[in-house]
Structure 1
Amino acid sequence: MSDTAISFRIRPDPHTPFFSYSPQPGPPHAVAPLVNGSHAPAADRGAETRVVTSCANETALEGVVVIGFVDESKVKGLLVACTVVNPADLAATRRALNDLRMKGQRRIHFTKESDSRRRAICSMLCTLDVEVTIYKARDRDPRVARAAALAAVVADLAAANATQLIIERDDPAAAADRATLYRAVHDHGVPNLSYDLRRPHEEPGLWISDAVAWCYTKDRQWRGRVQPLIKAVREV
């Protein structure tokens, strides 16, 4: 299973949205290296998930720069999850995720975990300073659906002044993904937004999107375990 998700740093004002189509200019930031660190519980977990079809006319967060991690599920049509992380929190987030691995594991893959492990992982994820947006594709053609979802991800990341987008590599779709991302980055005027396709074991940030996408496609109980992380569900 593959899942697409975006995580955002918890906003200081719970009434201020992350997404906006009025991005603030700012210099590109380098991705923080993986170093020792600790993770702190995220605040403001009481807000309900909003179902939206667009994010126009919302206010941008000044000075906030984020990195997006995308994975997808194909269990019930295409569903993409995008997890956005503030670069200042990235090292601690990677550290916390790596600490979840069992001996011999290269990565966290939710389809291969036991239910007890899934519950423990979900509990830890809800302490991270991240947010996830779900993108549900309407089109049944997988190529059209994937292109629409990725374009929507780029639009939201552009509004959030993101500097980097990392997507789980799907070899059969890699060429098409790069073409879609190239068009979307230029359509939204964000040439400084870099994008990369990576294997799951190469980037722990992808594991959050994988877990959230898996839970979202399951029953209400599993969806509820990651609900505190989900800030919006978009149909694209």
Structure 2
Amino acid sequence: MSAHVFVDESHRSSYLVVAAYIPIRQLVPIRAVMRGLCLSGERRVHFQAESDNRRRKIVARLVEHPLRVRVYTGRGPKDATRAVLLRELVAEVLDAGAQRLVIESRGLARDRDDRREIVGTLQRLRAPIDALAYEHFQPHEDPALWIPDAVAWCFGAGGDWRRRVEPLVEKVIDCGDLHRTSTRTARNPGARRPAGSCPGSLPRPSGLG
């Protein structure tokens, strides 16, 4: 797949990591659409800060475009859960043949943690170190990052908001309750849950066809 993958998170009762796959040929028009959704003076669209009317407008524009989104979810300590979900995500990005992974930055230290998980996953899967380009951006640096931000918020909110983004969501990977895994890892830092050990995708939400 000739695509770039853009990643953001949301944390409510469960931890969500959302990956938006955008075909390379669609990157320029998608970015233009997202920039066009900014209000005057805004540097970015931040879904949490938007009004409900704005949220509905943004989602309506997103579902008009050929986007594929995957949602990774788990329950447990935030950092440990993110690590498990990121390993699953990287393994799937490799399987899909995507060329580039862009993750919303959470600061230097946490970005370093992400890079460690990415490199570790590439090594465990025996993938060439250059098999996947990856980097962290601030959200204002690439409008494509606003897409997983919007989907993560809606999916986490549930109800009508989740229904609105269902046409975009092709797969949901639920890694379940990770409290036990996190406890084992704390006792033995080398005992990481390998990529591919989550149960797999849940049934497609209704409306995906």
Name the residue aligned to 1:141: 77
Deviation, structure 1 residue 184? 1.3
Which of the numbers 147, 161, 169 marks the counterpart of 1:208? Answer: 147
Residues 24-55 of structure 1: CA deviation (Å, up to 9, x unaligned): xxxxxxxxxxxxxxxxxxxxxxxxxxxxxxxx
Partner Cα separation in structure 1 for residue 114 and residue 57 of structure 2? 33
Name the residue aligned to 2:88: 152
Which of the numbers 74, 80, 105 marks the counterpart of 2:11? Answer: 74
Q: Residues 181-220 of structure 1 correspond to what in structure 2 (within 5 A)?
A: 181-188=118-125, 189-191=127-129, 192-220=131-159
Matched, 1:177 2:114: yes
Matched, 1:94 2:70: no
Which of the numbers 67, 73, 79 marks the counterpart of 1:130? Answer: 67
Give the root-mean-square deviation of aligned CA atoms: 1.1
Partner Cα separation in structure 1 for residue 98 and residue 71 of structure 2? 17
Partner Cα separation in structure 2 for residue 112 and residue 141 of structure 1? 25
* Runs (5+) with no aligned partner, structure 2: 176-209
Partner Cα separation in structure 2 for residue 184 and residue 205 of structure 1? 24
- Between Structure 1 and Structure 2, which shows a larger proportion of helix residues? 2
Partner Cα separation in structure 1 for residue 33 and residue 149 of structure 2? 16
Partner Cα separation in structure 2 for residue 165 and residue 222 of structure 1? 26
Matched, 1:232 2:168: no
- Between Structure 1 and Structure 2, which shows a larger proportion of strand residues? 2
Partner Cα separation in structure 1 for residue 123 and residue 64 of structure 2? 35
Aligned with 2:157: secondary structure?
coil
Partner Cα separation in structure 2 for residue 145 and residue 65 of structure 1? 29
Deviation, structure 1 residue 219? 3.3
Partner Cα separation in structure 1 for residue 51 and residue 78 of structure 2? 29
Partner Cα separation in structure 2 for residue 147 and residue 71 of structure 1? 13
Name the % identity.
35
Preserved contact between residue 165 and residue 193 of structure 1 (Cα < 8 Å): yes
Q: How many residues align?
A: 172
Deviation, structure 1 residue 173? 1.5
Residues 76-107 of structure 1: CA deviation (Å, up to 9, x unaligned): 23111000011111111111111111100100
Aligned with 2:45: secondary structure?
coil
Change (3 A) 1:165 1:157: same
Preserved contact between residue 81 and residue 132 of structure 1 (Cα < 8 Å): yes
Partner Cα separation in structure 1 for residue 20 and residue 158 of structure 2? 21
Name the residue aligned to 1:168: 104
